[in-house]
Structure 1
Amino acid sequence: MSQTTIKTSGLTRSYGDICALKPIDLSVPEGEWLSVMGHSGSGKSTLMNLVGGLDRPSAGSLHVGGQDLSSLSEDGLARFRREYVGIIFQQHHLVPYLSALENVMLSQYFHSVPDEAEARHALERVGLGHRLQNRPGELSGGEQQRVCIARAIINSPKLLLGDEPTGNLDHKSTLMVMELLKELRAEERFTVVMVTHNEEVAAWGDRTIYLADGVLVREERTRP
């Protein structure tokens, strides 16, 4: 963890008169699993969207993977997302009429060239080698989320973002998904930033920061 994956200084995001994220200074070392907690409207998803290149800051600096995201063009941000970031959302965003395999290949299409063997391998890694041809409606909530994880890791991202990835899952499925992410992180050595309302989920990380009304109010280390 000698290098820094994320570095912010005075990072701010406003929407008109509403300041969703007040100046935040944050450093995330390479390979760390950072959990982000706070009530609805605290700025959690805003922070994640900025770090993932899905939004632009209003003020301050934001460096991710050595790149100054505020200086990138729209094409540059799209390239950054393709090459550097994997995202797992609470809502699965799977195409309902495509199979699990095709959903992963579709994501691959936006990054590079679809490769069925690679997509198959990604699904096998998340324990869905027997569900390749099933459509989302034929999969449980936990299985759908595992398809999303396969989709997020297909291009070996350096940074994995999770926006309430277990928010719609029961306790058993939540534990299964978290254990899977733990195993994949050990193999791939990617940095993780995970937004969650769940203290139990946050405890899987190395460190937790707490936001309130757009302000970073405290942090605690959950693992040495």
Structure 2
Amino acid sequence: MVAEGEWLTAMGHSGSGKSTLLNLVGGLDRPSGGALSVGGTDLLALSEDGLARFRRDFVGIIFQQHHLIPYPTALENVMMSQFFHSVSDEAEARLALERVGLGHRLKNRPSELSGGEQQRVCIARAIINSPKLLLGDEPTGNLDHKSTAMVLELLQELRDEERFSIVMVTHNQEVASWGDRTIHMDDGCVVREERKRS
């Protein structure tokens, strides 16, 4: 159970089930049994089209690999996410990039951006459609310490403003400590849980 506005991190060795958990919650995979409800939506009852609409309307995803399209600019990459949701709005995309500190990099292509800047474009792309749930698949895994801290601070600030929930998987204990709660996984099961001390 993830509460509204909560930041949950999942830790575990490779193959422990962290990415599978993320894919299930995001409607990218289907479970072989049991029940799965996200934001009051029974994901098992949805068709493939229904799952696609759920992801479009409810979920933002930040990957470890940036998955930015190489030739469009940062602004155009963010606008593409809008296109699949409803309609592209350049002013909104510009504002999203300004919120992540990239108002001066709107016209730059991904190859012209640092790793931290590329990841901030991904964050802008993930939040542009006002998701209720933000999923992070090792989003700081390829970043240096300074860029990691910048991305985590940004996510915390945006979460506090927008009140979306975050589910993030990581191998890094320092990254996990940013969450309100951390679950430790092994062989597809939660074996331990920790809450951040107030």
Range into which the TM-score falls when normalised by the shorter chain: over 0.9
Cα deviation for residue 30 of structure 1 reads: 1.2
Q: Partner residue of 1:185?
A: 159
Q: Partner residue of 2:119?
A: 145
Please state whether the residue corresponding to 1:60 is helix, strand or coil. coil
Aligned: 1:85 with 2:59: yes
Report 1:1-224 matches (<5 A): 27-224=1-198
Q: Deviations over 1:111-152 (max 9, x none)?
A: 110110010000000000000000000000000000000000
Please state whether the residue corresponding to 2:34 is helix, strand or coil. strand
Contact 1:87 1:152 in 2 (8 A): yes
Q: Deviations over 1:131-181 (max 9, x none)?
A: 000000000000000000000000100000000000000000000000000
| Structure-1-length-normalised TM-score | 0.87
Cα distance in structure 1, aligned partners of 2:10 and 2:32: 21
Cα deviation for residue 108 of structure 1 reads: 1.1
Please state whether the residue corresponding to 1:94 is helix, strand or coil. coil
Please state whether the residue corresponding to 2:36 is helix, strand or coil. strand
Cα distance in structure 2, aligned partners of 1:223 and 1:148: 30
Cα deviation for residue 222 of structure 1 reads: 1.6
Normalized per residue, which structure has more helix? 2
Task: Give the root-mean-square deviation of aligned CA atoms.
Answer: 0.6
Can you give the 5+ residue segments of structure 2 that lack an aligned partner in the other structure?
none
Cα distance in structure 2, aligned partners of 1:201 and 1:118: 29
Please state whether the residue corresponding to 1:146 is helix, strand or coil. helix
| Regions of 4+ moved over 3 Å | none
Cα distance in structure 1, aligned partners of 2:181 and 2:25: 17
Aligned residues: 198
Aligned sequence identity (%) = 81
Cα distance in structure 1, aligned partners of 2:33 and 2:197: 32
Cα deviation for residue 90 of structure 1 reads: 0.2
Contact 1:205 1:223 in 2 (8 A): no
Cα distance in structure 2, aligned partners of 1:93 and 1:99: 13
Contact 1:105 1:115 in 2 (8 A): yes
The 3 A distance-change label for structure 1 pair 223 and 105 is farther
Amino acid at match of 2:116: G
Q: Deviations over 1:95-118 (max 9, x none)?
A: 011100000001111111011001
Cα distance in structure 2, aligned partners of 1:189 and 1:28: 13
Contact 1:207 1:223 in 2 (8 A): no
